[in-house]
Homo-oligomer: A and B are copies of this chain.
Amino acid sequence: MAIPYEQLDWNALKAFLIAAREGSFSKAANQLGVTQPTLSRQIFNLESELNVTLFERLSTGLKLTDAGSRLLDFVAPMAPTAQNFSLAVAGLTESLEGEVSLSVSEIDALFRLPELIEFIHQQAPSIQLTIHVSNKASNLKQRDADIALRSFRPSEPDLIAKKLTDEPIWFYGTPNYLAKYGHPTQREQIQTMQIIGFERKLTLINHLNSLEWPVAESNFNLVTSFQGLQWELVKRGLALGFFPQAIGDQEPSLTKAFFPLGPVMVLPLWLVTHRELRTSPRINRVFQLISEWFIKKQS
């Protein structure tokens, strides 16, 4: 009855292979990084377990038994397999080629990624980028993506995070829309205006109220979570919208509203990745390139 391979001591099989190759416990022990008595005991234990004498011990070294010779042929292929595994490990940990997945919000995908991807591709052309676009927080722990841009600090202790910037978020509108309301500069003036809303608008309303913006549901007649549509509706002069300053200021048809009051809020932008940053040169490289790009953009 054959012992299941799960129950076999694979290190003892390795020891058998090396001892047979070297013809000596002393020499094989050197190769294995153990001492001769240890190896002697390991082979003895293997022989006991298998109920087969693998070697005769001579004072001049080892002599394979017939059984030993025969079994050696069966176990020998494990060595090249293990070596191929080790080469694959080295290839994985040392190579800059391969795929890195990046998770970003819709607005970042529309306004930042074109330029950022061009930058990354110039710096590391062998890296394949896969972009996941979602406004939901990517689950990096479950490997939805390797790297994410997020506007909140990650709470998972396993993730690695770097803060890229603090982004002012302003109300933006067309000059015509703002002229229609007299170029408002007081918070109370917002009560007669429209703001593009998200799906969870009660949360948004409460949050703006806590920031002392006296808004109500009547200010949110247009609701969409798709940030690209928000952008287009604001550009058509239908309502105000919230946008990061770095993005809003790039659009000539939009201008900040309530300018003397400053930004509505400030959101952090975090670059997040999972533990593999420490072992994957590719992920590490992309992480660094994104970081550099934001630094450049701020200077």
Name the contact of A93 in the complex, choosing from B10, B52, B85, B88 (C-beta under 8 A). B52
Q: Which residues of A186-207 are within 8 A (CB) of B?
A: none
Whether A77 contacts B81 in the complex (CB less than 8 A), given A9-B11, A11-B10, A93-B50, comes out as yes
The smallest C-beta distance from A2 to any residue of chain B, in angstroms, reads: 4
Whether A86 contacts B8 in the complex (CB less than 8 A), given A50-B93, A63-B142, A70-B92, comes out as yes
A1 contacts the other chain (Cβ, under 8 Å)? yes
A267 contacts the other chain (Cβ, under 8 Å)? no
B143 and A82 within 8 A (CB) = no
A223 contacts the other chain (Cβ, under 8 Å)? no
Closest to A140 in B: B56
Task: Give the copy number.
Answer: 2
A85 and B58 within 8 A (CB) = no
Chain A, interface size: which category?
35 or more
B5 and A86 within 8 A (CB) = yes
Contact code string A61-84 (vs B, CB < 8 Å = 1, else 0): 001011100110011011101111
**Complex interface: stretch among A169-177, A212-220, A274-282:** A274-282
Which DSSP category, helix, strand, loop or mixed, fits chain A's interface? helix
Name the contact of A280 in the complex, choosing from B18, B67, B141 (C-beta under 8 A). B67
A13 and B63 within 8 A (CB) = no
Whether A90 contacts B280 in the complex (CB less than 8 A), given A78-B82, A85-B13, comes out as no
Name the contact of A143 in the complex, choosing from B8, B65, B70, B143 (C-beta under 8 A). B65
A33 contacts the other chain (Cβ, under 8 Å)? yes
Contact code string A36-67 (vs B, CB < 8 Å = 1, else 0): 00000000000000111100101000010111
A71 and B53 within 8 A (CB) = no
Tell me, in angstroms, the Cα distance from A92 to B89 when the chains sit together: 36
A275 and B53 within 8 A (CB) = yes
Closest to A91 in B: B2
A88 and B66 within 8 A (CB) = no
A56 and B87 within 8 A (CB) = no
A32 contacts the other chain (Cβ, under 8 Å)? yes
Query: Which residues in B have their C-beta under 8 angstroms from that of A278?
Result: 51
Name the contact of A51 in the complex, choosing from B33, B83, B93, B141 (C-beta under 8 A). B93
The smallest C-beta distance from A223 to any residue of chain B, in angstroms, reads: 35
Tell me, in angstroms, the Cα distance from A18 to B82 when the chains sit together: 16
Whether A82 contacts B142 in the complex (CB less than 8 A), given A51-B279, A87-B2, comes out as no
Tell me, in angstroms, the Cα distance from A90 to B6 when the chains sit together: 15
Known: A52-B279, A63-B142, A63-B143. 11 other contacts (CB 8 A): A1-B90, A3-B86, A6-B33, A50-B93, A51-B279, A52-B89, A52-B93, A66-B99, A67-B92, A67-B280, A78-B82
Mark A residues whose CB is within 8 Å of B. 1-11, 13-14, 18, 31-33, 50-53, 56, 58, 63, 65-67, 70-71, 74-75, 77-79, 81-90, 92-93, 99, 141-143, 274-276, 278-280
